[in-house]
Structures are given as structure tokens and as C-alpha cells.
């Protein structure tokens, strides 16, 4: 399998160097980048081989046996969260808009303390493999699992497409490889990691990638600060001179309407707390103590990373603006687009070798993130839909694991096809929609199942579905789809992200359909809350704690 | 887990103490985070020039240290919670579990 893949990679390289290099938007073949990337692939395949031998039970597959430490899990969460989109996208945003880039970084970060304070330990104490375990703890398995699995799959699919398309384009520019080959290669590698190595391999791929990304970005930030004499004032004043405007030092037009600003804030904050691949990471540690440590470590690394991207963005303004090697003076943008700012900066700092390193890290980042997503999607299919809905909790473990591996392969293939199909589409709305669905369907059900004793199955199903539908409809009516894709003149929904409305509607609908539920089942579900509450608060009877 | 253990926990005054202390602490920190973050967002939305004022005679504006300090606040708050929960609260939780198991 390894050799087949290497051959495939090599043939891609040969193919690309023979034909496609030099096509506009595609860079010449970057040999150092490819060698470093191949080293990463070899190392991670080695880890997958090691992890495969240790992945025997369903618990191993979904949660790495629950044996990841808090620190390791914190790094892996940071690895899951620091996608190529946030590395290239946020440094690109800072490069373009200065201060406004910081607004996004902060929005992405502040969800983490909330996750820690309100859901992390309850999640660990109640769940086994997926967040649907928690949501359906005292409610009816079939409807709740089905809805949670749909919410998970929708979030995962949107996120995956965005990552795949981003990966294809990035690799095309960085390595000079053909788009389709790049997407196929990402898909195959991710299938290998997940099917053979399960959560253990996925976790270590995340950890290695997080360390590489943090070291690379730290080096860039230190070199930038070295060039400006380690003074922020110097960095900013040189940037102002280069951009010929002080506007980059204050909030610009990015967040001007208060309603859109709050709506975006809600989506980022509660969306993070509803992302299935993130929630799943809490089951890889042994107990609530390690779960808390994970969030503390993850918040530290993610916050540090956003400070680095802020420095890198400003460094890019100083180092790249006007330099014909990186800057297209006719179009007044960076060559390859403003999202290339971090990549160009790496070249300006450390030449071809460091450019190769950062390119390889960006590719590794995409691989790690798609692996985590695929594992979460496969778990929703095998653990929620198959084992608990179709087999009604009577599936044997081996069959469940086999289904999860088939699901991984199927998701990988679907991701490859969608990645290719969406190449030329405008996919800017997809990550926003993924966060909106996570915040409006997954999060309210999860949160209320933990905190509100009167939640019933009927309330959760109606409220969750209404939240999901509202999020989807409002995104379609917003500028990102209604104007940018469907070519209408003005957006019907004017506030960008739907979260403020869709999350509120979801909570109200869950409340209404729960309190009006007078059925016998509802009474039992409410009565079962106390039992759940004791377990969620103390961890008595929790998975992991009892199996040792 | 037998129903017995759950009854023991439920009637243990330490359980009420744990839940009250911990949830009060968690919500307090969560509200601090929400207030800090949404104040930041609202200032940007309603009065962006507040953050655009330069500090002293340089180009660095007030908004930059404020923005960066929100990142530090997020980190520090998670640290404060983790420290107290992994120490004091887990200690209490373990006592509750011990007491529930010992008297069967």
C-alpha cells in the first residue's frame, strides 16, 4: 500500500513537471517542498502502521482506547482547529485589512473557554464515542441519533468539501501538481490513516502537524520581529508606510453592522461547541480531569497561533508590498492571491528551503484536518446510524468497526468526487454554513440535554430540525449564495451569518415542543434526568473510568 | 452501577455543595468571557474609532493591545478554571464517590 502510494505520488510529480508546470496560477515544481512533504507522508504512514497494530476494538478505533493524555489531546485539538484555511486565511486577512484580521481570530478563540466551562466535562462523563451518545442519553435513540448523525454528516461534508477544494488549489500553486491528482492524493492518504490507524493514527497526525505548524509559524514571527528590532511599534509603522494608510490599524468595514457582528460571534462561539470532529476528541482522554487539561492546552496553543498569524500578516505587509517577486503591481494584489501572504513571507524570510517547509506544513495541515473530519463522519454512520438506529444497539463490535471502515472509504471517495466537482464553484459560504448548522442544530440539543431536565425527544427533534432548516434557508438567502452564486441583485437575508436567528429559533422551538409534550415517554425522560445529572457531574459510571 | 450508589450521591450534602460551587464558578467565568468578547464586538460595531485612537505619538492603536489581551484573557480563564476544577472540585468528587461506594 505504501509503495503504491509513493509510486502514485512520484508519477504525479513526473506528470506535473512534464506537463502542467508553468500554467498560470501554478508554480514551478518545488523540489524541497515535495521532499519534505514525502518525509511527512512516510512518517505518518509509519505511525498508521504502528497504530493499526494497536487498533483492535471499537473503543480503540473511535477514541484511541481513551488513553490519550490531556496535553497530547490539547495539541491534537489545536491541530484539528488550526486548519490551512485559518493559517493562510487569517494571515491573508491581516495582510489585507490589518486589525480586522484580529477580530476573526478572537471570534474563533473565545468559543474554547465556553466549551471548557459549560460542556467539556459533562461531555466526557456522559459520552462514549460520539456527541449523539450524550444527546440521546435519556431520550429516544432512533430519532435523536438520526438527527444528530444528519447534523454531523452535514457539518462534516461541508467542511470536507471546503478543505478538499482548498487543498487542491493550494497544492496546485505550491507544488505545481495537477488539481485532480492533488485531491485524489489527499483522499487516499486520509482513507489510509483513518481506516487502518483509526483515532490513534489521526491523533498523532494532528499532533505532529500541530508541532510543525507552530514551529514554522513561530520561526516566521521571530524572524519578522528580528527584522523590526523586536518592536511592535516599528512593525506597525513600517506596515503603515508600506500600505500608505493608517486604516489598517483600526477596525474597518469587516464588521460594521451590529447584528451581523453578533450573529458571526454566535456562529463562531457556539459552532465550535457543535463541531462533531472537535467534540469527538473529548472521548479520547480517560476522565474529566484530562478533558479540562486538553482545553486549557488547546486554548493556549490556538491563542498563541493567532498571535503568530497576526505578526505574520503585518510582516507580510512590510516584506512583500511592492516587491515584484511577490507582488503584482498591476492588479495590486499578491501573486496567487492575498491568501498566499504567509507562503510568500516564508520565501522572503528563508528562501526556497523554508518556502518548501511551510508548503509541506500547509499540505500536512489539510491532511490532518480532513482525517479528523472523516473519522467523525464515519463514526456518525457506524456508531449512530448503524449500531444504534439500524441494529437497535444489538450490533456486535466487529461488524460496527467494519461498517466504520467502509464508511471511511465511502466518505473518502465522496470527498474526492465533491472536491473535483466543486473546483470551479464558489465555496466561500461552506465553512460559514458548517458553523451555522453546528451552532443551530448540534449545539442546542447537546447543551439542553445536559442542562435542562424538561427536554424531551419531541422537543429535541423539532427544535433541532427547525434550527437546521433555518440555518440552511438563511444561508441560501444571504449574500454568499443568493447573490454570489445565484446571481441575484441583493440578498434577502442581510446579516451574513444566520446564527443569531437560527440558534435563537432552535432554542425556542426545543423549549416549546418540550413543555407541550405531555406523553408518558416525556415523563420518563424527564425523570431520567437526575440519574444523568449525577453521572455528568461526578463521572460515576462513565466510560473509561469504569473500564480500568 | 446500582441505583443505590446514585441515591447515596444524591442525598450526600457534598454533592449539592460540589454542583453549586462548580456551576456557579463555571457560569461566572463564562459570563466574564461573554461580556469581554461581546463588549469588544459592540465597540467595533458602534464606535470603531474608539479602538482606532493611537497610543501616544506612534501608530499603534488602542485596539491592538485590547484585542491581544482578549486572547490572553481566554487562556488565563481556562487556566483558572482547570486549576480549581482539577484540584478542589475533583477532590470533592472523589470524596463523594468514595462515600457512595463504601456504604453499600
Domain containing A125 equals 2-425
In a domain, A7, yes or no: yes
Cα separations (Å) of A448 from A332, A415, A529?
50, 32, 11
In a domain, A474, yes or no: no
Cβ–Cβ under 8 Å, residues B70 and B37:
yes
- The number of distinct structural domains making up chain B is 1
In the predicted model, is pLDDT for residue A548 greater than 70? no
CB under 8 Å to A37, separation ≥6 — which residues?
Answer: A175, A359, A360, A363, A364
Contacts of A251 in chain B (CB under 8 A): 44, 48, 51-52, 63
Task: List the beta bridge partners of residue A327.
Answer: A334
Cβ–Cβ under 8 Å, residues B74 and A285:
no
For residues B39 and A154, give the distance between their C-alpha atoms in angstroms, rounded to a whole number: 32
In a domain, A460, yes or no: no
Question: A64-78, A109-123, A256-270: lowest mean pLDDT where?
Answer: A256-270
Q: Do B63 and A531 touch (CB under 8 A)?
A: no
In the predicted model, is pLDDT for residue A264 greater than 60? yes
In a domain, A501, yes or no: no
- The mean pLDDT value for A504-519 works out to 95
| pLDDT tens digit sequence for A103-145 | 888 988 999 999 999 999 999 999 889 999 999 999 999 999 9
The CATH number assigned to the domain holding A375 equals 1.20.1730.10
| pLDDT tens digit sequence for A227-244 | 999 999 999 999 999 998
In a domain, A485, yes or no: no
In a domain, A311, yes or no: yes
- The mean pLDDT value for A176-181 works out to 86
Contacts of B63 in chain A (CB under 8 A): 99, 102, 249-251
Rounded to the nearest integer, the mean pLDDT of chain A is: 88
ipTM of the complex, rounded to two decimals: 0.94
**Given this model, what pLDDT does residue A33 score?**
81
Contacts of B85 in chain A (CB under 8 A): 121, 288-289, 292
CB under 8 Å to A276, separation ≥6 — which residues?
Answer: A130, A131, A151, A152, A155, A156, A376, A377, A379, A380, A438, A442
pLDDT band at residue A545 under the 50/70/90 scheme: very low
In the predicted model, is pLDDT for residue B53 greater than 80? yes
- The number of distinct structural domains making up chain A is 1
Q: Do A540 and B100 touch (CB under 8 A)?
A: yes
Q: Do B15 and A534 touch (CB under 8 A)?
A: yes
Q: Which of A250, A306, A309, A527 to mutate to test the interface with B (most CBs of B within 10 A)?
A: A250
Question: A45-49, A199-203, A425-429, A536-540: lowest mean pLDDT where?
Answer: A425-429
In a domain, A112, yes or no: yes
Q: Do A307 and B71 touch (CB under 8 A)?
A: yes
Domain containing B53 equals 3-102
**Given this model, what pLDDT does residue A2 score?**
39
Angle (CA) A71-A73-A77 rounded to 5° is: 120
Cβ–Cβ under 8 Å, residues B82 and A293:
yes
Helices B13-46 and A99-114, interaxial angle, to 10°? 170
In a domain, A547, yes or no: no
Amino acid at each position: 500500500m505504501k509503495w503504491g502510494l509513493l509510486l502514485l505520488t512520484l508519477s504525479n510529480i513526473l506528470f506535473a513537471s512534464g506537463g502542467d508546470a508553468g500554467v498560470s496560477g501554478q508554480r514551478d515544481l518545488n523540489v524541497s517542498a515535495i521532499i519534505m512533504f514525502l518525509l511527512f507522508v512516510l512518517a505518518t504512514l509509519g505511525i498508521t502502521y504502528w497504530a493499526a497494530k494497536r487498533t483492535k476494538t471499537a473503543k480503540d478505533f473511535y477514541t484511541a482506547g481513551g488513553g490519550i493524555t490531556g496535553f497530547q489531546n490539547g495539541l491534537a485539538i489545536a491541530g484539528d482547529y488550526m486548519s490551512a484555511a485559518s493559517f493562510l486565511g487569517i494571515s491573508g486577512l491581516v495582510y489585507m485589512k490589518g486589525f480586522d484580521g484580529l477580530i476573526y481570530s478572537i471570534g474563533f478563540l473565545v468559543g474554547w473557554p465556553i466549551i471548557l466551562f459549560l460542556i467539556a466535562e459533562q461531555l466526557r462523563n456522559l459520552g462514549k464515542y460520539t456527541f449523539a451518545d450524550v444527546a440521546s442519553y435519556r431520550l429516544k435513540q432512533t430519532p435523536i441519533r438520526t438527527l444528530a448523525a444528519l447534523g454531523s454528516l452535514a457539518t462534516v461534508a461541508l467542511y470536507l468539501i471546503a478543505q478538499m477544494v482548498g487543498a487542491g488549489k493550494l497544492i496546485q500553486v505550491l507544488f505545481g501538481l495537477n488539481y485532480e491528482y492533488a485531491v485524489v492524493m489527499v483522499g487516499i492518504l486520509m482513507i489510509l490513516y483513518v481506516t487502518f490507524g483509526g483515532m490513534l493514527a489521526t491523533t498523532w497526525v494532528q499532533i505532529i502537524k500541530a508541532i510543525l505548524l507552530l514551529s514554522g509559524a513561530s520561526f516566521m514571527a521571530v524572524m519578522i520581529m528580528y527584522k523590526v528590532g523586536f518592536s511592535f511599534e516599528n512593525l506597525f509603522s513600517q506596515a503603515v508606510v508600506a500600505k500608505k494608510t493608517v486604516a489598517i490599524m483600526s477596525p474597518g468595514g469587516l464588521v460594521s453592522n451590529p447584528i451581523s457582528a453578533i450573529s458571526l460571534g454566535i456562529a463562531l462561539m457556539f459552532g465550535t461547541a457543535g463541531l462533531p470532529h472537535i467534540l469527538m476528541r473529548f472521548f479520547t482522554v480517560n476522565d474529566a480531569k484530562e478533558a479540562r487539561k486538553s482545553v486549557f492546552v488547546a486554548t493556549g496553543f490556538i491563542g498563541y497561533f493567532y498571535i503568530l498569524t497576526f505578526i505574520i500578516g503585518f510582516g507580510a505587509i512590510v516584506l512583500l508590498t511592492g516587491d515584484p517577486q511577490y507582488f503584482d503591481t498591476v492588479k495590486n494584489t499578491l501573486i496567487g492571491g492575498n491568501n498566499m501572504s504567509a507562503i510568500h513571507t516564508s520565501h522572503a524570510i528563508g528562501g526556497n528551503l523554508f518556502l518548501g517547509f511551510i508548503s509541506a506544513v500547509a499540505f500536512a495541515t489539510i491532511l490532518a484536518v480532513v482525517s479528523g473530519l472523516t473519522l467523525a463522519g464515519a463514526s456518525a454512520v457506524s456508531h449512530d446510524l448503524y449500531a444504534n438506529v439500524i441494529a437497535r444497539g444489538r450490533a456486535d463490535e466487529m461488524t460496527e468497526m467494519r461498517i466504520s471502515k467502509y464508511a471511511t472509504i465511502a466518505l473518502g471517495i465522496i470527498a474526492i468526487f465533491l472536491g473535483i466537482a466543486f473546483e470551479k464553484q464558489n465555496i466561500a459560504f461552506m465553512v460559514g454554513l458548517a458553523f451555522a448548522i453546528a451552532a443551530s442544530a448540534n449545539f442546542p440539543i447537546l447543551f439542553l440535554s445536559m442542562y435542562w431536565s424538561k427536554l424531551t425527544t419531541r422537543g429535541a427533534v423539532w427544535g433541532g430540525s427547525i434550527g437546521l432548516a433555518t440555518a440552511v434557508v438563511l444561508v441560501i438567502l444571504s449574500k454568499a449564495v443568493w447573490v454570489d452564486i445565484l446571481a441575484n441583485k441583493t440578498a434577502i437575508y442581510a446579516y451574513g451569518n444566520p446564527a443569531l436567528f437560527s440558534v435563537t429559533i432552535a432554542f425556542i422551538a426545543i423549549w416549546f415542543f418540550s413543555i407541550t409534550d405531555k406523553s408518558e415517554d416525556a415523563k420518563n425522560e424527564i425523570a431520567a434526568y437526575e440519574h444523568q445529572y449525577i453521572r455528568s457531574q461526578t463521572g460515576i459510571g462513565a466510560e473509561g473510568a469504569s473500564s480500568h | 452501577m446500582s441505583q443505590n450508589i446514585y441515591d447515596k450521591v444524591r442525598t450526600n450534602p457534598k454533592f449539592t455543595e460540589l454542583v453549586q460551587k462548580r456551576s456557579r464558578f463555571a457560569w461566572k467565568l463564562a459570563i466574564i468571557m461573554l461580556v469581554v468578547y461581546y463588549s469588544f464586538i459592540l465597540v467595533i460595531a458602534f464606535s470603531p474609532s474608539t479602538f482606532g485612537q493611537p497610543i501616544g505619538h506612534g501608530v499603534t492603536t488602542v485596539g491592538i493591545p485590547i484585542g491581544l489581551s482578549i486572547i490572553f484573557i481566554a487562556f488565563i480563564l481556562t487556566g483558572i478554571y482547570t486549576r480549581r476544577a482539577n484540584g478542589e472540585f475533583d477532590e470533592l468528587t472523589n470524596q463523594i464517590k468514595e462515600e457512595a461506594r463504601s456504604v453499600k
